[in-house]
């Protein structure tokens, strides 16, 4: 069972995923990367996801290895420390492939 802080972090992750989905919407990859405001908003939400994952207890993360906690933290670290070197392929793959799986996993961790 998740404690109050863990539930809050899971909600932060899910809220950020929903914001990213809203920000990207139906735009193409080209449209997305051509829109600096949209890109900045999405990158910020990836940072929030990574920070929430970083703050989770190690015990909870070990109890739920199906969630790629370290990948989220790694993405956050890359965005924070290497902002000018953001790899478009990694960002787009994370959005199109990884985010839907993460959303499903986090949703299952939260009580209905």
Span 60-92, pLDDT tens digits: 999 999 999 999 999 999 999 886 778 999 999
**Could you tell me how far CA 91 lies from the centroid of its own chain?**
10
Distance CA 67, CA 18 (A): 17
Structure tokens that stand for 40 in this block? 């900045």
Whether 12 is catalytic: no
User: What is the pTM assigned to this prediction?
Assistant: 0.93
Whether 44 is catalytic: no
State the pLDDT at residue 109.
96
Distance CA 97, CA 7 (A): 24
Catalytic position from the list 12, 44, 62, 76:
76
Catalytic position from the list 64, 81, 101, 108:
81
Which helix (H) or strand (E) segment holds residue 62: the answer is: helix 58-63
């Amino acid at each position: 069972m998740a404690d109050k802080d863990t539930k809050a972090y899971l909600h932060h992750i899910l809220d950020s995923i929903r914001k990213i989905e809203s920000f990207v919407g139906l735009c193409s990859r080209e449209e997305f990367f051509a829109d600096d405001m949209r890109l900045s908003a999405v990158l910020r939400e990836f940072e929030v996801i990574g920070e929430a994952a970083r703050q989770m207890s190690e015990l909870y993360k070990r109890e739920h290895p199906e969630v790629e906690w370290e990948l989220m933290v790694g993405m956050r670290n890359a965005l924070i420390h290497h902002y000018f070197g953001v790899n478009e392929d990694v960002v787009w793959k994370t959005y199109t492939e990884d985010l839907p799986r993460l959303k499903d996993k986090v949703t299952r961790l939260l009580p209905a």
